Amino acid sequence: MFSKIYDILGESLNVLSDRQNIIASNVANANTPGYKSKELNFKDVMKNLVPSPSSLPMEATSRKDLSYENIYNAAERDGSGFIKSFIKNQKDESVPALDGNTVEIGREMSNMTSNAIRFQAVAGLLSKKFATLTYAITQANP
Protein backbone atom coordinates (compact mmCIF):
# COMPACT_ATOMS: atom_id res chain seq x y z
CA MET A 1 0.00 0.00 0.00
CA PHE A 2 2.72 2.49 0.93
CA SER A 3 5.62 3.42 -1.25
CA LYS A 4 8.90 1.62 -0.57
CA ILE A 5 10.43 5.01 0.18
CA TYR A 6 8.91 4.82 3.68
CA ASP A 7 10.85 1.59 4.32
CA ILE A 8 14.07 3.05 2.96
CA LEU A 9 13.78 6.29 4.96
CA GLY A 10 12.91 4.36 8.13
CA GLU A 11 15.85 2.04 7.72
CA SER A 12 18.10 5.05 7.03
CA LEU A 13 17.08 6.50 10.39
CA ASN A 14 17.94 3.21 12.09
CA VAL A 15 21.38 3.08 10.47
CA LEU A 16 22.11 6.73 11.27
CA SER A 17 21.05 6.13 14.87
CA ASP A 18 23.41 3.14 15.14
CA ARG A 19 26.19 5.23 13.59
CA GLN A 20 25.60 7.98 16.15
CA ASN A 21 25.90 5.41 18.96
CA ILE A 22 29.23 4.18 17.56
CA ILE A 23 30.57 7.72 17.32
CA ALA A 24 29.40 8.42 20.88
CA SER A 25 31.19 5.25 22.01
CA ASN A 26 34.38 6.50 20.38
CA VAL A 27 34.08 9.83 22.20
CA ALA A 28 33.38 8.07 25.50
CA ASN A 29 36.50 5.94 25.06
CA ALA A 30 38.79 8.80 24.02
CA ASN A 31 40.92 8.27 27.14
CA THR A 32 40.80 4.46 27.24
CA PRO A 33 44.28 3.02 26.69
CA GLY A 34 44.48 0.77 23.63
CA TYR A 35 40.98 1.61 22.38
CA LYS A 36 40.66 1.49 18.58
CA SER A 37 38.05 3.88 17.22
CA LYS A 38 35.25 2.27 15.24
CA GLU A 39 33.21 3.46 12.27
CA LEU A 40 30.01 2.52 10.50
CA ASN A 41 29.89 3.56 6.85
CA PHE A 42 26.31 4.64 6.10
CA LYS A 43 26.77 4.24 2.35
CA ASP A 44 28.03 0.64 2.63
CA VAL A 45 25.14 -0.41 4.87
CA MET A 46 22.50 1.20 2.66
CA LYS A 47 23.97 -0.40 -0.47
CA ASN A 48 23.29 -3.78 1.14
CA LEU A 49 19.81 -2.85 2.31
CA VAL A 50 18.41 -1.26 -0.83
CA PRO A 51 18.39 -3.18 -4.09
CA SER A 52 20.06 -1.44 -7.01
CA PRO A 53 17.81 0.56 -9.34
CA SER A 54 18.90 -1.62 -12.26
CA SER A 55 17.69 -4.82 -10.62
CA LEU A 56 14.28 -6.10 -11.60
CA PRO A 57 11.74 -6.12 -8.77
CA MET A 58 10.55 -9.63 -7.99
CA GLU A 59 7.41 -10.67 -6.20
CA ALA A 60 8.09 -12.88 -3.19
CA THR A 61 5.51 -15.56 -2.59
CA SER A 62 7.45 -17.36 0.11
CA ARG A 63 10.23 -16.58 2.58
CA LYS A 64 12.41 -18.98 0.62
CA ASP A 65 12.11 -16.87 -2.54
CA LEU A 66 14.64 -14.25 -1.47
CA SER A 67 18.21 -15.45 -1.24
CA TYR A 68 19.70 -12.16 -0.07
CA GLU A 69 18.83 -9.62 2.58
CA ASN A 70 17.42 -6.28 1.61
CA ILE A 71 15.18 -3.56 2.91
CA TYR A 72 12.00 -5.55 2.35
CA ASN A 73 12.82 -8.27 4.86
CA ALA A 74 14.77 -5.99 7.21
CA ALA A 75 12.13 -6.27 9.90
CA GLU A 76 12.75 -10.02 10.19
CA ARG A 77 16.53 -9.91 10.51
CA ASP A 78 18.51 -9.46 13.67
CA GLY A 79 19.39 -5.79 13.28
CA SER A 80 22.27 -5.81 15.73
CA GLY A 81 24.03 -8.71 14.00
CA PHE A 82 23.53 -7.16 10.58
CA ILE A 83 24.89 -3.76 11.62
CA LYS A 84 27.79 -5.34 13.53
CA SER A 85 29.02 -6.87 10.29
CA PHE A 86 29.65 -3.34 8.96
CA ILE A 87 31.44 -1.93 12.02
CA LYS A 88 35.15 -1.63 11.35
CA ASN A 89 38.13 -0.05 13.01
CA GLN A 90 38.78 3.36 11.53
CA LYS A 91 41.68 3.57 9.14
CA ASP A 92 44.78 4.76 10.94
CA GLU A 93 45.38 8.05 9.18
CA SER A 94 47.26 9.51 12.10
CA VAL A 95 49.72 8.38 14.72
CA PRO A 96 47.99 6.74 17.68
CA ALA A 97 48.56 8.12 21.15
CA LEU A 98 51.33 6.65 23.28
CA ASP A 99 48.77 4.46 25.04
CA GLY A 100 47.58 3.01 21.68
CA ASN A 101 44.29 4.90 21.58
CA THR A 102 43.29 5.94 18.03
CA VAL A 103 40.36 8.25 18.85
CA GLU A 104 40.74 11.75 17.44
CA ILE A 105 38.17 13.81 19.31
CA GLY A 106 38.03 16.50 16.59
CA ARG A 107 37.25 13.96 13.88
CA GLU A 108 34.65 12.27 16.07
CA MET A 109 32.88 15.53 16.84
CA SER A 110 32.86 16.39 13.13
CA ASN A 111 31.43 12.94 12.32
CA MET A 112 28.81 13.36 15.04
CA THR A 113 27.71 16.72 13.65
CA SER A 114 27.48 15.52 10.04
CA ASN A 115 25.60 12.41 11.16
CA ALA A 116 23.11 14.53 13.14
CA ILE A 117 22.53 16.73 10.07
CA ARG A 118 21.88 13.65 7.93
CA PHE A 119 19.51 12.28 10.55
CA GLN A 120 17.56 15.55 10.62
CA ALA A 121 17.38 15.62 6.81
CA VAL A 122 16.06 12.05 6.58
CA ALA A 123 13.61 12.64 9.43
CA GLY A 124 12.42 15.79 7.64
CA LEU A 125 11.87 13.85 4.40
CA LEU A 126 9.94 11.17 6.23
CA SER A 127 7.86 13.80 8.00
CA LYS A 128 7.03 15.46 4.65
CA LYS A 129 6.02 12.10 3.17
CA PHE A 130 3.66 11.46 6.08
CA ALA A 131 2.29 15.00 5.85
CA THR A 132 1.53 14.46 2.17
CA LEU A 133 -0.14 11.15 2.94
CA THR A 134 -2.18 12.73 5.75
CA TYR A 135 -3.23 15.56 3.47
CA ALA A 136 -4.32 13.10 0.79
CA ILE A 137 -6.39 11.13 3.30
CA THR A 138 -8.03 14.08 5.05
CA GLN A 139 -8.63 16.26 1.97
CA ALA A 140 -9.90 13.52 -0.31
CA ASN A 141 -13.27 14.30 -1.88
CA PRO A 142 -15.56 11.27 -2.05
Q: Give tens-digit pLDDT for 34-44.
A: 999 998 888 88
CA 117 – CA 122 distance, rounded (Å): 9
Q: Give tens-digit pLDDT for 81-129.
A: 666 777 777 666 666 778 888 899 999 999 999 999 999 999 999 999 8
pTM over 0.85: no
Q: In 3D, which of 73, 49, 50, 51 has the Cα closest to residue 63?
A: 73
